[in-house]
Amino acid sequence: MIKVKIVRLNQKALLPAYATAHAAGMDVSACLDAPLTVEPLTTALVPAGFSIELPDGYEAQLRPRSGLALRHLISLPNSPATIDADYRGEVKVILINYGREPFTVCHGDRIAQMVVSRVDRVEFEEVGALSETLRGAGGFGHTGI
């Protein structure tokens, strides 16, 4: 069990919560004083009303909700968005409307998922060449459909 400190910055804020017993992500809800409309092909920064303190070596990722993506073409343009362990500001979600119709977000609407996970830090070692593999430099789509 990992303890994450959380502060409700707005008393109306709904804290992140798992919707089911085996959910990987916690639902993050909008914390709004008034409905917010995201016009087609535009973005909006939606406050969640809380801040968190993650343990060193952890991050929280914000991810789109599948239902919003499927039914309304609402997503997160920077998905997954990373909340670093040293960030103490309010959690906010960048939403993008890829659809053709305006989309209205109301207070309490579940707008994203948050997954907390361990992060390993690496050190780079500059070398003259990399080891050979069967794949080599084959990139995007090199194995076909």
CATH of range 5-118; options 2.60.120.10, 1.20.120.450, 3.40.1640.10, 2.70.40.10: 2.70.40.10
Model-level pTM?
A: 0.89
Residue ranges of domains in the chain: 5-118
Tens place of pLDDT per residue across the chain (145 aa): 788 999 999 999 999 999 999 999 999 999 999 999 999 999 999 999 999 999 999 999 999 999 999 999 999 999 999 999 999 999 999 999 999 999 999 999 999 999 999 999 999 999 999 999 888 888 777 777 7
Cβ of 120: how many Cβ atoms within 10 Å? 5
**Three-state helix/strand/coil letters over the chain:** CCCCEEEECCCCCCCCEECCCCCCCEEEECCCCCCEEECCCCEEEEECCEEEECCCCEEEEEECCHHHHHHHCEECCCCCEEECCCCCCCCEEEEEECCCCCEEECCCCEEEEEEEEECCCCCCCCCCCCCCCCCCCCCCCCCCC
pLDDT (0 to 100) of residue 106: 98
Question: Please, which residues have CB within 8 angstroms of residue 2's CB and are 6 or more apart in sequence?
Answer: 55, 58, 116
pLDDT (0 to 100) of residue 12: 96
